[in-house]
Chains A and B, each alone.
Chain A
């Protein structure tokens, strides 16, 4: 305390005359300005380097991460078609994003949807957009957010794997982006969005990296798809074992690594907050892998590799909304509970209700995302995230642990809106696709396998 007091005295003694002197001396003023601008560009260089790496990491989650994870879980005859569903989105969503997607998500300041200000990427250049990320070029922010828009629809493909028409899937994904993803991204992260906690939302919801925007929307939409499209031919009496858990394992590990870009990158700067999100992400994944394995070991008798990797993914999902708001131990708690809850969802509740969510996109992403979004309201604290202040500059309490219980209610509203938008939006999109193209392949194509019947190739050819 004494030390600080002395510092302040010294500063006031020197600062005031220095300012007067600097004003009288234009040479010093220009040199000060040069130092300031050098500091600014150094920060920008650091932040930009980090954010470009994060963008690449998030793309790696879709291809190869998710493509391998899902590809290994299907039967051998559908491995390529499943991987293609992830990969083609890297191309399709990119084009949609450039034309209108980015603008609908981050243009304007309406409560539900952006505008066309950034359409065709107009006004998106190397100058920062101070509303979102003041230290990096807006183009970096744009490409980073694109990677989220790619992986979110790719997650849904786990629900309709092994039976959806490729043409219908393409149309579905474009429309789904327009009706579900862009509005949701705008509501939560866009300026003036209804749920935006930082930029003037009416119902401030904390969603650091996409618990509602990414995981609830994709997971709930996945359930709608599974129910609408019906079961795979032969489900559940035929054996539909994962054909290659080794590639699923590699995919899951790539997802874990890529998720650091997803969550820590959502700090949008190479800051302490990024570190905190990185730590929470890792702890959440680790605890969830243990949670799932423990539950499975007790319940089904053996700790499986598929269980361990599924648990890690469930934990990564659940920690996503919380990652920039919670300390390490709450992160462990969120992860552990997600591992257990998601295990019971996919292994037991799904069996009871008899729907065929082939690769458990709902059980892992829908349920994990919902759990994580609600628990964010419990564990969010301003000791981790100091970006919310009142007009006097005092830190506002964030979650229940900060003494702000109504945040849990806000989170619940955010969750409910995501569920409703996902259900209604997906039903509309499916109906359109079904009328125009038909969503499901013919039975004989399904039996032959989608690799041969839709793409004219096979994943594994051992004779040649």
Chain B
């Protein structure tokens, strides 16, 4: 099993959800986060007082899928989230040791 963690532009969330749904992924967890990589922030001015805002709003998606499906999911996700500009985000992939469905104690891939 693989955990796929993606940090994307917030306005791309709907496209990404749509793309994942079309390949049969319907479970995910998202968080509104702030951060930046190479993308620079912007300047705000309040009555002449300047502030550099470098932590920008992003959305973090997390999902766990079977190892065989990971590549498809990454491809769909990256394709939907891409604009080609700096700030599109990143995807991180982790190995997952175990998954448990709380409702009935299913374990492993059947818990996904």
Contacts and interface: CB of A to CB of B under 8 A. Distances in A.
Contact of B48 (A239, A240, A241, A346): A346
Interface in B21-67: 44-49, 51
B47 A307 contact: yes
Nearest to A349: B48
B18 to A, nearest CB: 28
A304 interface: yes
Contacts of A348: 48
B49 A310 contact: no
A310 B45 CA distance: 14
Contact of B45 (A300, A350, A360): A300
Contacts of A307: 47
A236 B49 contact: yes
B46 A351 contact: no
Interface residues of B, number: 7
A347 interface: yes
A417 interface: no
A6 B108 CA distance: 111
Interface in A218-245: 236, 239-242
A239 B51 contact: yes
A348 B48 CA distance: 7
A249 B65 CA distance: 48
A299 B48 CA distance: 9
A133 interface: no
Nearest to A348: B48
11 contacts: A236-B49, A241-B44, A241-B51, A242-B46, A300-B45, A304-B46, A307-B47, A343-B48, A347-B49, A348-B48, A351-B48
Nearest to A300: B45
Contacts of A241: 44, 46, 51
A360 B49 contact: no
A421 to B, nearest CB: 28
Contacts of A300: 45, 48
A346 B47 contact: yes
A306 interface: yes
Contact of B47 (A236, A301, A310): A310
